Amino acid sequence: MTRTFFVGGNFKMNGSLDKVKSIVEGLNAGSLPSDVEVVISPPFPYLKWAKDHLTASTVEIAAQNSFDRGDGAFTGEVSVAQIKDVGSTWVILGHSERRTILKESDEFIADKTKYALDNGLKVILCIGETLEERQKDETLTVCNRQLDAVIAKVSDWSDIVVAYEPVWAIGTGLAATPDDAQDVHSKIRAHLAEKIGEKQAEGVRILYGGSVNGKNATTFNGKPDIDGYLVGGASLKPEFLDIIKSRA
């Protein structure tokens, strides 16, 4: 099965309006490949500006979080309806920073994933192990547990993209080797095939998200289960275009 190459840019809690303008202008002028799906995720205050000023037809917008209920008395949260109202079509859920810093449980992330999907958003679902878990050889145990929480609540995975983000490689400059990443991705797909069926699993795009940059992105080319990247810090820099074009 041919899966469309996917590059996500997670700006995290970084940037300003001027910074977002610069990134959007770079994408608009970047002669992006037509066969690559690009999703950028600015901080909440800049979502509408980014959506309104993007002219590149292959680029969509993602929020960095959403709640598991509709509008209401939930101070500080953002609803799916509000995210859609400003033109976003995706949301990032389960990122390691929300799992580890904000202590979001697998079950809560699964609830948020189901609610987002049921109400019309597509989901970039992040999974991955910490350094301590990796050293204990628990990579797949952790990834499978995080996936299983969502599998228990969601049967249709056609609007989910899975991002494997080894926590030890995020923001550290470290990255798994292409062979190591492919090995984990292939086992993630095998687990999905066992739980949601081979046909669905073959259609799910699995992204690598551990310190991908303009220099190392091409080294992952040719790996059959690496369907793109979820990029952090490099998405704020001109090299983001190089990553988008890395399969050219």
Q: Which residues are catalytic?
A: 95, 165
Backbone phi, psi, residue 136, to 5°: -90, 5
d(CA 137, CA 180): 13
- Contact yes or no for 205/224 (Cβ under 8 A): no
Q: What is residue 52's DSSP assignment?
A: H
The two beta strands, 90-93 and 59-63, are parallel
Judge residue 73's burial from the number of C-beta atoms within 10 Å of its C-beta, 0-12 exposed, 13-18 middle, 19 or more buried: exposed
The alpha carbon of 41 is separated from its chain's Cα centroid by a whole number of angstroms, namely 9
| Intra-chain end-to-end CA distance of the chain, in Å | 19
CA 87 to CA 84: how far, in whole Å?
A: 5
Q: What whole-number distance in Å separates Cα of residue 232 and Cα of residue 235?
A: 6
108 class by beta-carbon count within 10 Å (0-12 exposed, 13-18 middle, 19+ buried): middle
CA distance 154 to 137: 28
The interaxial angle of helices 106-118 and 139-151, nearest 10 deg, is 40
